[in-house]
Structure 1
Amino acid sequence: MTIPERPQCVVVLDTAELDSVILLGISPVGAIPAHMSDAAEFPPHLQRATRASTVVGRHQQRSRSSSSSPRRSPT
Structure 2
Amino acid sequence: MKRRGRGKIGIVHTSCKRCSKPLVMTNRSIYGAYVAKTIYEQICSSCITSEEHHDLLRAQAGAILENGSSQK
Query: Given the two structures, how large is their TM-score scaled by the length of structure 1?
Result: 0.26
Determine which structure has the larger helix proportion and give its number.
2
Query: Given the two structures, how large is their TM-score scaled by the length of structure 2?
Result: 0.27
Determine which structure has the larger strand proportion and give its number.
2
